[in-house]
Amino acid sequence: MSYKVTLIPGDGIGPEVCKASVRVLEATGIKFDWEVQEAGVDVMDKYGTPLPDAVIESVRRNKVALKGPITTPIGTGFRSVNVAIRKVLDLYACLRPCKSYPGVRSRYKDIDVVVVRENTEDLYAGIEYQKDTPEAIKLIQFIKGTGQKIRDDSGISIKSISVFGTERIVRFAFDYARKNGRKKVTAVTKANILKYTDGLFYDVARQVAKKYPDIQYEERLVDASCMGLVMRPEEFDVLVLPNLYGDIISDLCAGLVGGLGIAPGANIGDDAAVFEAVHGSAPKYKGQNKVNPTAVLLSGVLMLRHLGHEREADLVNKALAAVIREGRSVTYDFKPTRDDPSAVGTSQMADAVIRKMDSLRKAAPVG
């Protein structure tokens, strides 16, 4: 069996980390038919947009995509190419596991937290009005009519959270917890201040939680959660959050385990899924065979699990963890100093992971 998968290398370091990850994924023995699609700043002159229609059509057709980081061009109609892909394809669930790997420099050990972020609503829906425009003036007049204080020179952004959007993201978090042997789901908002939007999120989450008596449910405010994650991360398991808080908290959690270089991500909807690293395109390192491929590779591991290949996903994860733990064939960011001469390149780290996969197979052959 061969899987038709959309491959979006992106720009900056994207093509390099994607190429390395593809080689490792193919070394599992699973057959992939990669449908390569161009996107990002490098194709603006060619297509007149950083996100050609063919990219979306390909993902819709194939249902699964592996994506490298993409730079959002300044001065275009896109707030973010990544956000545009999620909105157009209704990839409502952003899954971001944050797990400690021995050998990664971090002040913390044994972190194992999963962030489930709602991807389509909240302030990231981009419903905004520039100050002094007719739309903003009308909204300001309306708000003043309700007795609320607002300055005339305000720009306005609307925060929208629905019952529908909340129900499906919380259900996703509980389903993930149950499937992966997790014990607790924590809903995170600022409902003590935003009573009608974040309050709605809590109200709906409580109703969903009743359907999962085997999973503990709790609620925490976002500011207290930030402090708690730094002081007592062991108290957290699966977190489910509205869009903006999820973006912030997922970066915080990535910091706990050593940074965005080892932070994978998945954007999942009912009809398609796009797997991508959390980090950006880092164009200053483009073409240098220098950067860490771990985040994209771990996103590939999430893709393998999504496709039902748990054994192969475990093999890649174990091999990568061993390479990082041994600390020899790793990129500069894993080394004690950035100029460590023993650091290897992106491609060479992928080679080391593939060799480790082979040795793990030989040590425990599958009957």
Active site residues: 124, 190, 223, 247
Question: Are the C-beta atoms of residues 227 and 246 closer than 8 Å to each other?
Answer: no
Question: Are the C-beta atoms of residues 186 and 218 closer than 8 Å to each other?
Answer: yes
34, β-bridge pairs: 5
Question: Are the C-beta atoms of residues 254 and 98 closer than 8 Å to each other?
Answer: yes
As given in the structure block, the two tokens for residue 231 are 């002081």
Question: Are the C-beta atoms of residues 139 and 122 closer than 8 Å to each other?
Answer: no
Q: CA 81, 83, 84 angle in degrees (round to 5)? A: 60
Q: Please name the helix (run of DSSP H) or strand (run of DSSP E) that holds residue 35, with its range, or none.
A: strand 31-36
Q: How many whole angstroms separate alpha carbon 9 and alpha carbon 39? A: 8
Sheet holding 31-36, edge to edge: 31-36, 2-8, 64-67, 273-277, 264-268, 93-99, 112-118, 238-241, 184-189, 216-221
As given in the structure block, the two tokens for residue 74 are 């300044």
Q: Please name the helix (run of DSSP H) or strand (run of DSSP E) that holds residue 313, with its range, or none.
A: helix 310-326
Question: Are the C-beta atoms of residues 246 and 94 closer than 8 Å to each other?
Answer: yes
Would you tell me how many other CB atoms lie within 10 Å of the CB of residue 145? 8
Question: Are the C-beta atoms of residues 329 and 344 closer than 8 Å to each other?
Answer: yes
Distances (CA, A) of 174 to 27, 73, 239, 260: 33, 37, 10, 25
